[in-house]
Homo-oligomer: A and B are copies of this chain.
């Protein structure tokens, strides 16, 4: 027992050729006599042979693996991203090593070092914070990488993100078109540039419409707290006619809080969420939401990365994908549109 897996040498012997030829056949590297090639393939099949990727990578210097580092594997947005990347990568013959930074810069640095020790062809990273602790270490490792979703400041790397400002503006215009002058923005944390961009988009849009900017409530990442904080805020400040929740946890927290306060959606308060999930369709009322183009973000990230892996030298690209506003039952008109003519209510 504990029989070792067959090596290329085993295949070579069985096929009556040299290891080099086996390598050439299996790696489609050099033209090989069809007869020999067939013998090789047959021998490989017989022995159930699979190239040892560690050895292959060590010798060739080329790795067919990329690392993917996200802040959390509990968040469906990140796992959806991983799903997309896995698919795209797999189609190009790459495997993915997945790691979570658990929203911690320290862990992020450690996990990144671990990923780099595989000498991967590239890395896809959703930073834990705007500071992106790993920038330096990865920088001088010479491994190409793409920063996704939480893009801030200027990275040397390619970036892929949603157009957060426009997305938020779209949500804001939708509310304004329904006559909402008083909105509450519920954010996870303002430490993240993408969340700040969403706030900015909303505030700008309200200002441009000549309406007072909405207040922004920062409630942290944990679902439990959200409800309480929102309840307290409303107790202190009076109720808004509408709420924009900037993340999925915020959305759920707001729903819970409004229910506890006995505020009906959309009759008393209109609600827009960020991130679109299936449950928002079956919820009653169904939830109007800004759908992030997760799938496109994944493919964009992969295509940027594969270009770099292929040796592309062009300056870093910054992809900003548009999003879509899914209008459902949680938003309701309470008066005439507050939008001027030339600002459309919604753009897809």
Contact = CB atoms under 8 A, between A and B. Distances in A.
Nearest to A87: B100
Interface string A109-120: 001011111110
A9 interface: no
Contact of A99 (B48, B72, B95, B281): B95
B86 A114 contact: no
A249 B282 CA distance: 11
Interface residues of A, number: 58
Nearest to A3: B142
Given A119-B5, A252-B282, A76 B73 contact: no
Interface in A46-102: 48, 50-55, 57-58, 63, 65, 72-74, 76, 79-80, 82-83, 86-87, 90, 95-100
A53 B58 CA distance: 9
B95 A83 contact: no
Contacts of A223: 278
A283 interface: yes
Interface in A26-58: 48, 50-55, 57-58
A24 interface: no
Contacts of A255: 282
A97 B99 contact: no
One complex includes copies of this chain to the number of 2
A284 B282 contact: no
Given A140-B48, A256-B281, A86 B57 contact: no
A137 interface: yes
Contacts of A90: 99-100, 111
Contacts of A80: 73-74
A149 to B, nearest CB: 17
B76 A83 contact: no
Contacts of A118: 53-54, 95
A113 B50 contact: yes
Contacts of A76: 76, 79
Name the residue in A82, A111, A117 with the highest tally of chain B Cβ atoms < 10 Å from its Cβ: A117
Given A48-B137, A65-B97, A98-B98, A83 B73 contact: yes
Nearest to A57: B54
A132 interface: no
B284 A259 contact: yes
Interface of A: 1-5, 48, 50-55, 57-58, 63, 65, 72-74, 76, 79-80, 82-83, 86-87, 90, 95-100, 111, 113-119, 137, 140-142, 223, 249, 252, 255-256, 259, 277-279, 281-284
Closest 3 pairs (CB-CB, A-B): A73-B83, A279-B279, A79-B79
